A and B are shown apart, each in its own frame.
Chain A
């Protein structure tokens, strides 16, 4: 796709001004790195605070036609295996849209804003997700894409100090709290969450005010722009899935080790058991186990073992047993890290497998994730 066909976010001019290298990503021209470079951006985010433009992601408002917030929650529960009726006002949950085979159409964040649900979906899936919600939920919900809003993530140990200088209310927030607040930058929706394993916030801001908000944040010495390159190594150290790599239409929540996101109310024997696409398959796998599972992998040595690398059960000969879905060098753990799918009997931490790299097999060890412990403010 030519750069000219790409959409731009409201922060595009700021990225160019900051010297970003812009690349096509999910139909948008996005910053992959700034002059600091991927490695230093990653470390800066962990040491101080990183600012990410994630405006390419889809922001959607779901409002129950009945005017009853619970009706919106119950409606969306038809598409996601998450307990939304039990999601308190001002709180956010991770979830996923399932398909009829129990696979994942997308993963998303869902917040209860009192009179509506605020949903954030992946850029590459947003058109499909919105069509999916409209086709299944329009009788009960008004579904509005908030394409007049940008999304900024501020992540890292200095995020609270920086953002609270502009929006004092954020100090009182805990991990996965969400607030709507009127500011000099217009009406903001702020969640205390992110995609780095760091404490931090995601801020939905009107497009017109987004550059001013970004400049106000960047005025703090602690804040630096972080591109998509470092965003990937940060999320991988945190053990978080990238839709399209680590999870997709062929991976179930059980295979993807995401059953923690399916609360008791939606499980077998729960108050609202099943009731989402592919529930029979997902609940059966929760009872009986799945044949494969997503695991963390630590390669021996320094060579990164990247997406697409094949895993074997033996140093020579043997069987092909799995595939790496994400892999990179982790700047904070100072070692390579990967995730991938392996047969469940080989998914126990400590299991040694072999990754075939440039014709040679390198030992990799199955490990617990995250690779680096999260620093959320719970």
Chain B
């Protein structure tokens, strides 16, 4: 993939991370698991996933879109 294509991929990944931090598909759902609402468990898990993806970004793609715009 070209640099620009990879840039767009990262933008898409970030957009997905933002969008599904709230489990919209569970809207109105009141199921409870182990004392907490199911939607809260989704959120907790998603934030864990977000941290992992952010870590990967920091390791492999840091500086993207910021340093070396004139490439």
Q: Do A and B come from one complex?
A: no
